[in-house]
């Protein structure tokens, strides 16, 4: 069973701080990695994708990938109350057109 | 939600009745998926489709069937609803998962009483 693990949280940070969300995966053949944000009562929304080792930045969001350690993370700089949501890590399996999701990490940003 | 709609948005049904949820897309994407989301379990794949009339089971397919007779429509049927199928159901679409991931519909909240 190919798995994606996220710390269950919840994570609480003050406004303006850096929030760090982590994810590990078991399939060494995984090639593509995604972060989704899900507000309460809403559907998941894609916010970041990363395919190569290293960092990828998009505004206040940075995704980090380390394939050797089978580890992907999401950093949110200058966290805002509007960032309060559940963040889902998703990974493609080798040779598959399906995503496997972690169970999500609930982030609360306190004003 | 970017050319994908689910219907109904909410439904309450009785145990033992059949229920059909509909996912409709206007993106002409090849791949369509049905997930359920439950507290403590996250998103779990029920069934998916990689083309018209081409479907396959996911990890929690028991008690569910699907059909895809047109590119744009993917139907999920609960053959005889049970209380354990009370959940939020999401449809997702993709053209190339490895590049674009999924786009999700707004979800259907199903309650089986």
End-to-end CA distance of chain A: 40
What does the pLDDT read at residue A9?
A: 83
Neighbours of A13 (CB within 10 A): 17
Contact A43 B106 (CB under 8 A): yes
Task: Give the minimum alpha-carbon distance from B22 to chain A in angstroms, rounded to a whole number.
Answer: 16
A65's CB contacts (< 8 A; 6+ apart) are A33, A50, A51, A52, A53, A54, A56, A71, A72
Residue B17 and residue B110 in contact, taking contact as beta carbons nearer than 8 Å: no
DSSP A12-80: EEETTSPEEEEEEES-TT---EEEEEE-TTS--EEEEEE-SSEEEEETTEEEEEETTTTEEEEEESS--
Instruction: Check: CB of residue B25 under 8 Å from CB of residue B32.
Output: yes
Per-residue model confidence (pLDDT) at position B46: 98
State how far the Cα of B21 lies from the Cα of A103, in Å rounded to an integer. Answer: 24
Is there a contact between B90 and A43 if contact means CB atoms under 8 Å apart? yes
Going by C-alpha positions, the residue among A85, A78, A80 that lies closest to residue A106 is: A85
- Taking only the tens place, the pLDDT of each residue in A49-68 is 999 999 999 999 999 999 99
By Cβ distance, the residue of B42, B50, B103 closest to A104 is B42
Q: Is B10 on the interface with A (CB under 8 A)?
A: no
Chain B contact for A34 (CB, 8 A cutoff): yes
- Are residues B90 and A44, on separate chains, in Cβ contact within 8 Å? yes
CB B88 within 8 Å of CB B22: no
Q: What is the pLDDT of residue A5?
A: 94
Judging contacts by C-beta atoms under 8 Å, the chain A residues touching residue B102 are 44, 46, 90, 99
Residue B84 CA to residue B56 CA, distance in Å, equals: 22
CB-based contact, B41 to chain A, within 8 Å:
yes
pLDDT tens digits for chain B (113 residues)? 569 999 999 999 999 999 999 999 999 999 999 999 998 888 999 999 999 999 999 999 999 999 999 999 999 999 999 999 999 999 999 999 989 999 999 999 999 99
Q: What is the pLDDT of residue B2?
A: 62
- CA A24/CA B67 separation, integer angstroms: 34
Closest CA to A108 of A6, A11, A7, A8: A11
Strands A105-110 and A11-14: parallel
Q: Do A97 and B94 touch (CB under 8 A)?
A: yes
Q: Does A19 touch chain B (CB under 8 A)?
A: no
Cα(A26)–Cα(A20) distance, integer angstroms: 20
Which range is least confidently modeled, A5-9, A98-102, B4-8, B26-30? Answer: A5-9
- What lies within 8 Å, CB to CB, of A55 at 6+ separation is A62, A63, A64
- pLDDT at position A1, please? 65
A7 — pLDDT class (breaks 50, 70, 90): confident
> Does the CB of A43 have a partner CB in chain B at under 8 Å?
yes
Mean predicted confidence (pLDDT) in A30-43: 96
């Amino acid at each position: 069973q190919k798995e994606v693990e996220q710390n269950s949280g919840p994570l609480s940070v003050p406004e303006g701080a850096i929030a760090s969300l982590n994810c590990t995966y078991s399939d060494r053949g995984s090639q593509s990695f995604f972060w989704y944000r899900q507000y309460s009562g809403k559907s998941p929304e894609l916010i970041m994708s990363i395919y190569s080792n290293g960092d990828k930045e998009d505004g206040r969001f940075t995704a980090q990938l380390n394939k050797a350690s089978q580890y992907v993370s999401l950093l949110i700089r200058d966290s805002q109350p509007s960032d309060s949501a559940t963040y889902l890590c998703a990974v493609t399996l080798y040779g598959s057109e399906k995503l496997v999701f972690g169970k999500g990490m609930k982030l609360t940003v306190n004003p | 939600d970017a050319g994908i709609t689910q219907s109904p948005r909410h439904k309450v049904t009785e145990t033992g009745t059949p229920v059909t949820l509909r996912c409709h897309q206007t993106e002409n994407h090849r791949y369509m998926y049905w997930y359920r989301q439950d507290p403590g379990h996250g998103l779990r794949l029920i069934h998916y489709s990689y083309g018209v009339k081409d479907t396959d089971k996911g990890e929690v397919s028991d008690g569910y069937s699907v059909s895809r007779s047109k590119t744009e429509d993917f139907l999920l049927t609960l053959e005889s609803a049970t209380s354990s199928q009370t959940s939020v159901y999401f449809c997702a679409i993709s053209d190339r998962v490895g590049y674009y991931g999924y786009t999700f519909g707004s979800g259907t909240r199903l309650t089986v009483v």
